[in-house]
Structure formats: structure tokens, C-alpha cells
Amino acid sequence: MKEMQAKMNDPQFKAMLDSNPQMKAQVEALMKSMVSGDMSSMMPTGVTVKFKGGNSLISLEGGMMDKNDALYRADKDQTYAINNQAKSYMVMKKNTNTATQEKPKITKTSETAKIMGYNCTKYLIEQNGPDGTAMKISYWTTTEIKDIDLKSLAKQQMGNQSLVYTEVEGVPVKIEMPLPQGVMTMEMTELKKESLPASDFEVPAGYTETKI
């Protein structure tokens, strides 16, 4: 919270928000929710993930990041944050200071379950939340889904999540994350194998680059 407040007072960050009203509204809504303690309205209601040739595209629906995408291009080894409402994108800087990055504690448990018809194993991810409090996130993964390479997700600039994808075995089918109001659950509802156009993995034409 303190880091976010300090960032809001940074002149360069303020200028970037003023040039992007959509992002400014999202950040202000996030700050308001953090103060009130009610983060439920900020959470996405759905997530779609596409893979092709080492590329990946994560599309969010609902919540603070509605209509936002995270695109990873394997040929450029580059991640782009795409705001479809504002028709803009940002080139994400690579985190080269990995020595100071807090690594989550990842434990493979003996607990198993059948989810979406797949045999899954539970991983427990222990890490600190944005406010410094300890969090325990459950990942249910399966090795029965083939042809999905999580290495492309690991290369996305997503903080500790990148470290998770490099160490868990299999594909996450269900994720359970504790929140002050309860537990947020993300569970796979559909898996399709189909031919995807290359254009799905490009920054849309006409979008404006936003820089911080």
C-alpha cells in the first residue's frame, strides 16, 4: 500500500496516468478498494489462455483489468501488456534483478483430486501478499494435459507467478487464493485444441504505445 501511494506521487507516473484516463481510473479504483479492504470487485471473472509456437496470450474478463491482455512473443522474448479499452500497449521491462526477488516456497503435497476429468496433485505456494502478510495459495495441476508448455508463461513478467510456473509439474487446472472476504477460486472450465491465427499473438494494429 505504501509503495503504491509513493508511486502515485511520482511525477513521471502521474504524467503517464494523465495521458491514459482508462489506466488512471483503474489505478484509482484499486487504491479505493485497498483502503476499504474490499478487493472482490477488482478480481477478474474469467481468464482465457492461448498457446502457439512458444507464444502465449492471457486475456482477462471483468474486474479492474477487464479487456486487458498479457502477450508473450517467443521470437522476441518480449512481453506486452495490452489495454483493449484504451487501445494501447506497454512493452514490459525484463526483471534482471532476480537476486532480490522474493521466491515463494513451493511444496508438492500428497493430496490428489479429479478435476475436469484429470487426475490432479495439489501444490502449496507460500508467499507474502502486497501488504506483507503471508499467503498460502493452492495449485491443483495435472500431467495428463499434453502439448501445453508453461515455459512461455514463466517468461511473462508476472513477478512471483513466473517462478511458480517454472517449478510446478503439470498444468494448473484449479487455483485457490485466500482473500479477506473468503477464497477466490479459478478453475478450468474448457480446454480446446484448434488452429489459431498468427494475428492472435500480435499487438493489434493502430494501438498506441504507452511508456512509464
pTM: 0.68
**Rounded to whole angstroms, how far apart are CA atoms 166 and 192?**
23
Instruction: Identify which has the larger pLDDT, 41 or 193.
Output: 193
- Summarised one tens digit per residue, pLDDT across range 95-147 is 555 454 567 889 999 999 999 999 999 999 988 765 567 788 999 999 999 88
> What number of CA atoms fall less than 13 Å from residue 113's CA on the CB side?
14
